[in-house]
Amino acid sequence: MTVSYTLEVADARFGGFCKLLLRWKGSIYKLLYKDFLLFCGVYVFFSVFYRFLLSPKQQDLFERIALYCDQFTNTNFIPVLFVLGFYVTLAFNRWWGQYTNFPLPDNLMMVVSGNVHGTDERGRLLRRTLMRYANLSSVLILRSISTRVLKRFPTMEHIVEAGFMTTHELNNFESLHSDFNKYWMPLTWFSNLASRAREEGRVRDDIALRLLMDELNKYRGKCSLLFHYDWISIPLVYTQVVTLAVYSFFAFCVVGRQFLNPEKGYKDHKIDLYVPVFTLLQFFFYAGWLKVGELIINPFGEDDDDFETNQLIDRNIQVSMLAVDDMYQNLAPIEKDKHWE
């Protein structure tokens, strides 16, 4: 489930974001604790190794290696920060783009409700079927990009069972062979059915039909864009460069950030704190930022903070049906409002 926290930070108050730090669900701690433990483990291993297992001469060599490593983790030698900043910004824009292109049937249902007429069974059937086609299409596209939706509808039969499709339609759907995703087929049905409704006079004029087609095209455009966002991701090379930068940074940290014997008077090694507080904090920041990237590069997974696709599918079909069926021409009596005159 998407983790919403805007209400808690509605006001910029004393303490501010403090309370956000104490959440577990969708938090950085939950995402990172395993990697953190691994990092600590390796650090402790090297620490013990250096302190107890090496001969003085070996210690000396270790110290020189550690100093060498440290030299590069302290400066901007490995450009972790910069690369991460650019990468996460890119990923974030894609992430928001995917969200805003999630196909919502709200415009379509309003248009269907206002322009496909008839309170009889045929009218209801037309309106419900049109909206069902629109929702079916988004289910088909989401199945191919969201692991959550695929789990819910592992086969086409599950979609039929859930009432998004009839058996006849499934047959029709499967009788056409295409090597590519066929999510656009129900939308073509929509277009054809709207055309037929116009012939039957259920859609009263050409302009209303055009309105239906325009909204349909916008809806299809969003489905299509979602499909392409999934198909064309940030080039693998870019992701690899970023990952390598972060991982190698911390690989050198486990050696370079060891506390060396303060008595040997190495520069910046005046004190032995055992716990490398700063390095651990750095781990939180850098690895945390990389995790942000991992999290948002595919928002259709099953992370705490990924989009609630299944919930959205339910919402969409429910409000679609409400709007075109229950609410069709169901108006409260029009009265003068309070401020009349």
* Rounded CA separation 8/186 (Å): 42
264 binds a second copy, rule: CB under 8 A:
no
* Span 58-117, contacts to a second copy by CB under 8 A: 64-65, 67-68, 71-72, 74-79, 81-83, 85-86, 88-90, 92, 99-100, 104, 106-107, 109-111, 113-115
Taking CB under 8 A as the rule, does residue 192 contact a second copy?
yes
Residues within window 202-221 making contact with a second copy, judged by CB under 8 A? 204-211, 213-217, 220-221
Q: How many residues does the chain have?
A: 341
- The CB-of-133 to a second copy minimum distance in angstroms stands at 10
Per DSSP, 49 falls in state: I
Minimum CB separation of residue 210 from a second copy in Å reads 5
Binding-site string for a second copy from residue 40 to residue 59, where x marks contact by CB under 8 A and - marks none: --------------------
Token pair in block for residue 140: 């088909």
Backbone angles phi, psi at 116, to 5 degrees: -105, 110
The amino acid at residue 264 is K
Of 183, 198, 211, 226, nearest in space to 109 by CA: 211
CA distance 117 to 102: 28
For 118, residues 6+ apart whose C-beta sits below 8 A from its C-beta are 124, 126, 202
Looking at residues 282 to 301 of the shown chain, list those that interact with a second copy (rule: CB under 8 A): 282, 284-285, 288-292, 294-298, 300-301
Helix (H, G, I), strand (E, B) or coil at 180: coil
- When asked if residue 119 is in the footprint of a second copy (CB under 8 A), the reply is no
31 scored as a contact of a second copy (CB under 8 A):
yes
Out of 188, 222, 261, 310, the only residue in the binding site for a second copy (CB under 8 A) is 188
Q: Does 179 bind a second copy (CB under 8 A)?
A: yes
Q: Can you tell me which residue has the tokens 């108006």? A: 331
Rounded least distance, CB 4 to a second copy, Å: 6
